[in-house]
C-alpha cells in the first residue's frame, strides 16, 4: 500500500513468544478518522486517541497486545502518552501525530521497559533513511492478536472515474477480534488504510456509514470491549483525489466491502466458534423493529447453543424476537433456514420440515430468515454459535 510501512515484533509483553508490539508508519501525515468504544469503562489509549484524532491527521500507530492498559488510573494515561512520545522521538515526528492502541488483560500496568526496548526495534524493522524494511504487514497483523487463531487482512481495489480518466483506489484492512465482540461501535481493533486522497470530513462520514453496516452488525458473545478502536488512514499517495459524490460513492462501497469482510472474519474466528450465521429479519414495521429483532436473536445464548447442537429450535428464535422490544405478531411470522420453511404464518410445519432444516445446519455457514410480515423494513446480523471451547478459552484467559 502506497504511503504505509509496517512492523511487528515480540517485545515481551505477552508471557510467551508470539509478536506483541506492532507499528503502522505513514511516510507523511495521513488524513485520519476514528471511532471508539461506547463502553463507559474506557482504556487509557482510547482516552488519548479521542483527543489525538480531533486534528484529523495521523502519521504513526503503535499497537500492543497482551495488556489492555485499562482500569490503570492516571498512571495508565501517563504510560499511554509516554509510549506515544517514544514513537515520536524515534521517528522525529510530533507526538500528537501518534495514535496508540492496546488490547489484552484489563487491570495490569503497562510494562514500560518492554516499550522502551521495543520501539527502537520497530524503527529498525520499518527501515527509514534508505534502509531496506524488514517488517511486514503480516508481522503487524500477528502482533495485535490475543485469543485470535488467525490474522485478519483484507484488500480491495477499485476505480474512480475522472475527467482525466479512471484513477485506481486501493483499500486495505487489518483487524483483531475473537472475544468481547458485540455491535456497539467497532467491537475490536481495526485499521483501514487507503492510498486515496480524501478530506477528514469525508473520511469520517464514510467510516461512520461503513461501521454501521458492518462492525455494528456482528456479535460473538455480546460483550463490548473497553478498548474498541476503528481507525482509517488515507495517505493520498495514490492517483485518486476524491472530492465529488460519484467518487465518494465508489470509495464508500469499497470501504464497506473491506469492513464487511473483516467483520465476517472476526465472527468466523469467534472464540470456540464452529459456525457463522446470518440472521435476516425482514417485514419489519419500522427499521428499529427489524434491528431490535435481529439483534436479540443474534445475542441469544439459547439460539447460539442450539445452532452449535445443529438443532433448528425455532421456538428460541421467535421467542428472542418477541422479547426484543420490536412490534411483532406471532401469527404472522415466517421462519426459514436457508430456503427451508419451518414456520409459516405462526404455524410450525412439522417434523419433516425440521429434519430438512437440521440438515442445513450441518454447514459451516447458515442463513436464517425471519419474516415479520408487518412492513417492508429489513436488517441483519452476523453471529456465531457457542461451544464448550468458548467457556474453556475464557476460563483460562488470565492463567
Q: Residue 281's domain is classified under what CATH number?
A: 3.10.20.340
Residue 127 pLDDT class (50, 70, 90 cuts): confident
Residue 195 pLDDT class (50, 70, 90 cuts): very high
Task: Find, among 311, 227, 219, the residue nearest to 271 by Cα.
Answer: 219
Residue 133 pLDDT class (50, 70, 90 cuts): confident
pLDDT in tens, 361-371: 999 999 999 99
Helix (H, G, I), strand (E, B) or coil at 173: strand
Say whether both 263 and 298 belong to one domain: no
pLDDT in tens, 244-282: 999 999 999 999 999 999 999 999 999 999 999 999 999
Q: At how many degrees (to 10) do helices 73-91 and 112-126 cross?
A: 30
Burial label for 56, CB within 10 Å (0-12, 13-18, 19+), is middle
Helix (H, G, I), strand (E, B) or coil at 7: strand
- All residues at 6 or more sequence positions from 317 whose CB lies less than 8 Å from its CB, including other chains: 279, 297, 300, 303, 335, 368, 370
Residue 64 pLDDT class (50, 70, 90 cuts): very high
Q: What is the pLDDT of residue 187?
A: 54
pLDDT in tens, 162-183: 888 999 999 999 999 988 787 5
Active site residue 305: no
Pick the last residue of a domain from 234, 268, 302: 268
Pick the last residue of a domain from 268, 291, 311: 268
Say whether both 121 and 194 belong to one domain: yes
pLDDT in tens, 67-85: 999 999 999 999 999 999 9
pLDDT at 129 over 70: no
Q: What is the pLDDT of residue 399?
A: 54
The span from the CA of 83 to the CA of 276, in Å, is: 38
Q: What is the pLDDT of residue 163?
A: 87
pLDDT in tens, 314-360: 999 999 999 999 999 999 999 999 999 999 999 999 999 999 999 99
The span from the CA of 125 to the CA of 139, in Å, is: 10
Helix (H, G, I), strand (E, B) or coil at 109: coil
- Provide the residue range defining the domain that includes 360: 276-395
Say whether both 321 and 248 belong to one domain: no
Q: Considering its fold, how many domains does the chain have in total?
A: 2
pLDDT at 186 over 60: no
Pick the last residue of a domain from 268, 284, 312: 268
Q: Residue 41's domain is classified under what CATH number?
A: 3.60.70.12
Question: Which residue is associated with the grid cell 485518486?
Answer: 240
Say whether both 232 and 333 belong to one domain: no
Say whether both 152 and 207 belong to one domain: yes
Are 381 and 183 spatial neighbours (Cβ–Cβ below 8 Å)? Answer: yes
Residue 132 pLDDT class (50, 70, 90 cuts): confident
pTM of the full predicted structure? 0.93
Say whether both 226 and 311 belong to one domain: no
Say whether both 49 and 75 belong to one domain: yes
Which triple of cell numbers denotes residue 252?
A: 464508500
pLDDT at 222 over 90: no
Say whether both 289 and 248 belong to one domain: no
Mean pLDDT of the chain: 94
Query: What percentage of the chain has pLDDT greater than the value 70?
Result: 97
Q: What is the pLDDT of residue 17?
A: 76
pLDDT in tens, 281-302: 999 999 999 999 999 999 999 9
Q: Write down the catalytic residue from 72, 103, 146, 187.
A: 187
Say whether both 250 and 290 belong to one domain: no
The span from the CA of 243 to the CA of 62, in Å, is: 30
Say whether both 87 and 228 belong to one domain: yes
Q: At how many degrees (to 10) do helices 314-322 and 301-308 cross?
A: 160
Give backbone dihedrals phi and psi of 214, rounded to 5 degrees, phi first.
-130, -80
Please give the C-alpha separations between residue 296 and each of 180, 303, 320, in angstroms, as whole numbers.
17, 10, 6
Say whether both 58 and 180 belong to one domain: yes
DSSP per residue, 278-315: EEEEEEESSHHHHHHHHHHHHH-HHHHHHHHTT---HH
Are 10 and 18 spatial neighbours (Cβ–Cβ below 8 Å)? Answer: yes
Say whether both 15 and 130 belong to one domain: yes
Amino acid at each position: 500500500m502506497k504511503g504505509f510501512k509496517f512492523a511487528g515484533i515480540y517485545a515481551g509483553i505477552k508471557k510467551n513468544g508470539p509478536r506483541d508490539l506492532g507499528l503502522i508508519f505513514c511516510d507523511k501525515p495521513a488524513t485520519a478518522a476514528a471511532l471508539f468504544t461506547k463502553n463507559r469503562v474506557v482504556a487509557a489509549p482510547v482516552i488519548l486517541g479521542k483527543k489525538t484524532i480531533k486534528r484529523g491527521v495521523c502519521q504513526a500507530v503503535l499497537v500492543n497486545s497482551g495488556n489492555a492498559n485499562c482500569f490503570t488510573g492516571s498512571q495508565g494515561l501517563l504510560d499511554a502518552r509516554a509510549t506515544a512520545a517514544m514513537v515520536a522521538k524515534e521517528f522525529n515526528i510530533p507526538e500528537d501525530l501518534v495514535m496508540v492502541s492496546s488490547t489484552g488483560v484489563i487491570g495490569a500496568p503497562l510494562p514500560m521497559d518492554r516499550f522502551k526496548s521495543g520501539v527502537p526495534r520497530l524503527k529498525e524493522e520499518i527501515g527509514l533513511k534508505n534502509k531496506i524494511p524488514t517488517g511486514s504487514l503480516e508481522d503487524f497483523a500477528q502482533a495485535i492478536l490475543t485469543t485470535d487463531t488467525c490474522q485478519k487482512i483484507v484488500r480491495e481495489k477499485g476505480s474512480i472515474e475522472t475527467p482525466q480518466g479512471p484513477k485506481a483506489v486501493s483499500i486495505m484492512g487489518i483487524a483483531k477480534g475473537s472475544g468481547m465482540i458485540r455491535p456497539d461501535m467497532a467491537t475490536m481493533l481495526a485499521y483501514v488504510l487507503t492510498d486515496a486522497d480524501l478530506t477528514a470530513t469525508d473520511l469520517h462520514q464514510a467510516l461512520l456509514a461503513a461501521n454501521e453496516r458492518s462492525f455494528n452488525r456482528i456479535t460473538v458473545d455480546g460483550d463490548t470491549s473497553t478498548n474498541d478502536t476503528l481507525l482509517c488512514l488515507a495517505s493520498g499517495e495514490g492517483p485518486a483525489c476524491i472530492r465529488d459524490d460519484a467518487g465518494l460513492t465508489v470509495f464508500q462501497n469499497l470501504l464497506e466491502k473491506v469492513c464487511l469482510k473483516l467483520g465476517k472474519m472476526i465472527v468466523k474466528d469467534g472464540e470456540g466458534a464452529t459456525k457463522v450465521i446470518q440472521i435476516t429479519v425482514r417485514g419489519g414495521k419500522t427499521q428499529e423493529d427489524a434491528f431490535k429483532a435481529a439483534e436479540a436473536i443474534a445475542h441469544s445464548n439459547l439460539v447460539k447453543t442450539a445452532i452449535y447442537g445443529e438443532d433448528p429450535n425455532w421456538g428460541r428464535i421467535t421467542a428472542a424476537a418477541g422479547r426484543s422490544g420490536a412490534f411483532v405478531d406471532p401469527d404472522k411470522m415466517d421462519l426459514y433456514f436457508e430456503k427451508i420453511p419451518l414456520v409459516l404464518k405462526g404455524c410450525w410445519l412439522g417434523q419433516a420440515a425440521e429434519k430438512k432444516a437440521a440438515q442445513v445446519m450441518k454447514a459451516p455457514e447458515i442463513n436464517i430468515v425471519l419474516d415479520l410480515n408487518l412492513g417492508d423494513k429489513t436488517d441483519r446480523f452476523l453471529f456465531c454459535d457457542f461451544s464448550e471451547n468458548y467457556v474453556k478459552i475464557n476460563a483460562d484467559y488470565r492463567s
